[in-house]
Amino acid sequence: MQSKKKPYLPLVLLMIFFLGISCQGDYTPKPRGYLRIDFPEKEYVRFDSSCPFSFTHPVYSRVLPDTDFYSEPCWINIEFPSFNGMIHISYKKVYGNLYQYMEDSRTLAYKHTIRADAIRETVYSDPDADVHGILYEIKGDAASSLQFYLTDSNNHFLRGSLYFNVEPDKDSLAPVIAYFKEDIIQMIESFEWK
């Protein structure tokens, strides 16, 4: 009786050899990290148009008319192309329905409670410019982290929401949101009704 050679024996020996020489170096897995973001210097320009309001916005943004099918006059988008983000601005004339607009803004902000860890409201009021409003800071993995509304309490109402075209991740977006929060506060503080 003749014994058969085992054809896989040289292959197994070759694999053991390569495994032995490949484990000679030190390997340390790298911790999970996020991309470094270089933010531009803060600089602002005034937006002024035929709309009944004006404000300053960052030079690294573009103000574009909202071309959505349902958009109304004086609805605009402030686009941040380098950050894949946008502030959607909607304007409404007030005809005795200010309370309804304010409640709608509050409802839209609090719809994010499903994903939010907390919602912080900051009241803004400039009686000299007749600008009053609330900034909603939505903490957590919500789709919109910053929302606000501004009004003169009689004739005008404006609402804004910051969105990024990425999957929400509070850890990676936190520095970007903090950076744009300063821009939104600047916009609110420079806001004027015509």
Cα distances from 107 to residues 122, 130, 178, in angstroms, run 16, 24, 23
> Which whole number is the average pLDDT over 59-84?
94
Confidence grade of residue 6 (pLDDT, cut at 50, 70, 90): low
Q: How many helices (H) and strands (E) does the chain have?
A: 3, 10
Q: Would you state the pLDDT for residue 16?
A: 79
The DSSP output letter for 82 is G
pLDDT at 123 over 70: yes
The larger pLDDT score, comparing residue 15 to residue 158, is at 158
CB-count burial class (<10 Å; 0-12, 13-18, 19+) for 61: buried
Strands (E), the chain: 44-48, 53-58, 62-65, 76-80, 85-93, 116-126, 131-140, 144-151, 156-164, 192-193
Confidence grade of residue 92 (pLDDT, cut at 50, 70, 90): very high
Give SS3 for 160.
Answer: strand
User: What pLDDT, in 10s, does the model give residues 124-179?
Assistant: 999 999 999 999 999 988 888 999 999 999 999 999 999 998 877 777 788 889 99
Phi, psi dihedral angles at 50 (to 5 degrees): -80, -5
Q: Count CB neighbours of 139 within 10 A.
A: 16
User: What pLDDT, in 10s, does the model give residues 24-64?
Assistant: 666 666 666 666 778 999 999 999 999 999 999 999 999 99
How wide is the angle at C-alpha 157 spanned by C-alphas 179 and 121, nearest 5°?
A: 45
pLDDT at 83 over 70: yes
Q: Would you state the pLDDT for residue 169?
A: 72
pTM: 0.79
CA nearest neighbour of 42 among 183, 193, 165: 183
Q: What percent of the chain has pLDDT over 90?
A: 66
